[in-house]
Amino acid sequence: MKTINIGILGFGVVGAGVAKLLIEKKQLLESRIGAVLNLKTIADIDTTTDRGIELGSTALVNDAKLIIKDPDIDIIVETIGGETIAKDFIFKALENKKHVVTANKALLAGFGNELVKTARHNQVDLGFEASCGGCMPIIKSLRESLVANDIQSMSAILNGTCNYILTKISKDGSAFDVALKDAQDLGFAEAEPSLDIDGYDTAHKLAILNSLAHGMEINLKDIHVEGIRNITPVDIEFAKSFGYTIKLLAIGKKHDDHVEARVHPTMISNSNPLSHVDKSMNAIAIEADATGRTMLYGHGAGMLPTASAVLSDIADIARNIISKTKRRVPILGYPEDNIKSIPILPMSELYTRYYLRFEAQDHPGVLSKISGILGENNISIKSVHQKGRQSNGKVRVVMITHIAKEAWVQAALARIEKTDSVVGDPVIIRIEEITQ
């Protein structure tokens, strides 16, 4: 039986998960793949901490070069994360003609196009199923299963930390800070949580998925990103009263000559299956012209769910090696020469529906003033909901608009803010409808 040698860079949570599966599932993997997947070497600066894994003949070294330059190693798994040393290591591994598997969405979103070029130049594979949606087979679905479909839209919950916090606020009425603290205590959120809660991690994943869905270059910088710091129990309660749920969604849509790519808190109807995706679970709903609506659901993070996705990439490359082929499926789903640069719609050009909440003075004429400014900016109001005077003397006014242009809404809100009718910043949450 052929032996395929593997090296892992980084022995943190994900690296340990990959090592655990390679070692403990050795027999299962052999019986499925028909080759020995031999974990030859792991490199980490910390070679002493016990990760609870019986390494056997696997070497643990503190120098990544011992993997990157090892002529016997076929596949290198990068689980360090981030864009500093991980970037150097991956480029060097590709240049040394190693197949690379990574879960590093930040790196792919920032430098994916260059990585794809380097992999092509060196005629090796680059796998990244674990970069988006954890164990869900979303990369494989876009590259292989949906091959005869034009992907019309994707809407996805791709960050377990944010989804946990939003679920906590929704179920318990907790304030954001309390829910964040709870998520940190339970290990769902990092001590420095901004990558997650400000939406950047979700945007990294959307940049990758949009590229695969539409055959476009990876473009992170033009994605509109808003996080969940300003979501309050008040808005979640209003949403509930309308039959809606608030989720941090990654939204990617294809139009004739551009795509939408945006990450922001979104109100979705409770008839949308994504509204039932709670706690730290992830899901992606895809609308495509042949399949109609499909959805994948699963753990988007965690040691073994992430490692399971890494192993699916390793198995793909191993099956290529024993089939004496490589680069059988294009890295971004289309052969590199067919990948286009497709512009992302500027946010100001977006048309959608809006939930707007104002803290208004309890004076006669205030409602008329707000709605008058909205009307002057072409914004048509579907419904108005006003709650009685609060202890601070203000009244809460919530308006749901018909479809309006983002630029109009922003212009109207800027004018409303300047009046003496409202206090504080208006709250704006976009509403996403499903088409079935």
Contact positions toward a copy of itself, by CB under 8 A?
Answer: 21, 25, 28-29, 31-34, 129, 135-137, 140-141, 144-150, 215, 273, 276, 288-299, 302, 304-305, 307-309, 311-312, 315-316, 319-320, 323-325, 328-330, 333-335, 338
Interatomic CA distance for residues 55 and 60, integer angstroms: 8
Instruction: Specify the residue, 319 or 415, whose C-beta has the smaller distance to a copy of itself.
Output: 319
Q: Is the dihedral of CA 197, 199, 201, 205 positive or negative?
A: positive
Residue type, 244: Y
**Among 205, 253, 369, 394, the one annotated catalytic:** 205
Which residues lie across from 115 on neighbouring strands?
none
Report yes or no: 131 and 103 within 8 Å, Cβ to Cβ.
yes
Report yes or no: 357 and 235 within 8 Å, Cβ to Cβ.
yes
Question: Which letter does DSSP use for residue 240 in this model?
Answer: H
To the query of whether residue 221 is one of the catalytic residues in this protein, the response is no
Which has the closest alpha carbon to 357: 383, 375, 380?
383
CA-based end-to-end distance of the chain: 50
Structure tokens given for 143 = 């590259």
At 12 the three-state DSSP class reads coil
Instruction: Specify the residue, 48 or 325, whose C-beta has the smaller distance to a copy of itself.
Output: 325
Q: How far is the CB of 48 from a copy of itself (least distance, A)?
A: 27
Interatomic CA distance for residues 200 and 194, integer angstroms: 8
Instruction: Spell out the long-range contacts of 190-194 with Cβ–Cβ below 8 A and sequence spacing 24 or more.
Output: 190/161, 193/161, 194/227
CA angle 320, 326, 330 (to 5 degrees): 110
Instruction: Specify the residue, 36 or 411, whose C-beta has the smaller distance to a copy of itself.
Output: 36
Report yes or no: 270 and 245 within 8 Å, Cβ to Cβ.
yes
Q: How far is the CB of 390 from a copy of itself (least distance, A)?
A: 35
Report yes or no: 164 and 279 within 8 Å, Cβ to Cβ.
yes
The total of other beta-carbon atoms located within 10 Å of residue 240's CB is 13
Q: What DSSP string describes 174-233?
A: --HHHHHHHHHHTTSS-SS-HHHHTSHHHHHHHHHHHHHHHTB----TTSEE--STT--H
**Kind and range of the H or E element at 75?**
strand 75-78
At 397 the three-state DSSP class reads strand
* Residue 85 main-chain phi, psi, to 5 deg: -70, -30
Interaxial angle between packed helices 160-172 and 233-241, expressed in degrees from 0 to 180 and rounded to the nearest 10: 70
- DSSP-H helix ranges across 200-329: 200-214, 233-241, 303-322
Give CA 163 to chain center in angstroms. 11
Just list the catalytic residues.
205
